[in-house]
Structures are given as structure tokens and as C-alpha cells.
Amino acid sequence: MAITAQMVKELRLKTGAGMMDCKKALKETDGNMEAAIDFLRKKGLSSAAKKAGRSTNEGVIKVLIQDEKAIILEMNCETDFVARTDDFLGAVDAIAQKMLDGNIEDTENLPTEIDDIRKAAIGKLGENMTIARAQILNKEENDMFAEYIHMGGKIGVLVQFEVAAAANEEAM
């Protein structure tokens, strides 16, 4: 099957992979779009394994507060350039949401669903990425959360505190 520029463009839009990678995936799968997506996913997982030993000294702190719980998450990559990209920040957002939804704080034994998001970002951006640490807080009665992110996401704080009820209206 002849691989057209339109097919390459469509696969690139669906996966975010590079143009040459998309062309190669389509050639390897005889133009089958779904098989090409799977091919690129597997290539990204392989790519992630090759990059695993690289140092990750840059990254961001993400705080996500929803209803009765909140998470603070640190995700790192190799360069500050990648740490500022929409693709990296989107992966951080998706991982924080999945970890919060699943009450997952253990960054060493991540469920496949979460680790696949990280590995896909590695494949797309070409840098090693690690989830350095995470903490989930659960709200109790009269509790509130507050967050502070500083220096472009390099420093972050999530605080849980109890709001004391006023003894009477004159105390206010």
C-alpha cells in the first residue's frame, strides 16, 4: 500500500510522534492506522527503557485540589526546555488526575495506566521522565486546602488546615 502524506499527517495528529516515525510505522503496518498507533506505542515503551538511566534534574510541581482531596506531585525530566512544553505539562496533569482518582501515592509501583502516560511522553519528547514524589491529602470536617506554586513550578506547597468555627458572632 502506498503511504500518503495525508496518512502520515493523520497519524501524527493522533499520536504526536515525529513525521518520520509516523511514516515508518505506516510502512511497517502496510498503512493500517490502528496497527501503526500500536507500533508507535511499543516503540515509545522501548524508547523509554533506553532513556531510563538518564538524570532528571528539571521538572515541575503540580497541585490538584478536587472536592475532598488534593495531590501534590513532582515530575521531573532532563531539561528545563522540555519541562515547559505543553506535552510535558499535559502528561503531568493527566498523571496527577489519575493518581488522585486512584489514591495512588507510591511512585515506585505505578499502575500500568499511569506509567504508560509517562512512557508515551518520553517517547514523544525524547527525554527520561520520573515521578519523583507525590502526596495525597484527604479533607476532614472543617478542613481547607491552600496551595502555593513558586518559580515557575519548581517549588510548591500544599497545606491542609482546620478552620475553627467562631464561638459566637461577636467573636467575628
CA distance 57 to 15: 27
Its pTM stands at 0.70
**Quick one: pLDDT at residue 165?**
66
What number is the average pLDDT over the span 131-154? 90
Rounded percentage of the chain residues whose pLDDT exceeds 90: 40
| pLDDT confidence tier of residue 19, bands split at 50, 70 and 90 | confident
Q: Which fold has domain 58-162?
A: Tetrahydropterin Synthase; Chain A (3.30.479)
> 5-51: which CATH number, 3.40.50.300, 3.30.559.10, 3.40.50.1220, 1.10.8.10?
1.10.8.10
Domains 5-51 and 58-162 share a fold: no
Average pLDDT, the chain: 85
**Quick one: pLDDT at residue 90?**
96
CA distance 68 to 157: 18
What number is the average pLDDT over the span 116-130? 86
Phi, psi of 69 (to 5 degrees): -150, 165
pLDDT at 138 over 70: yes
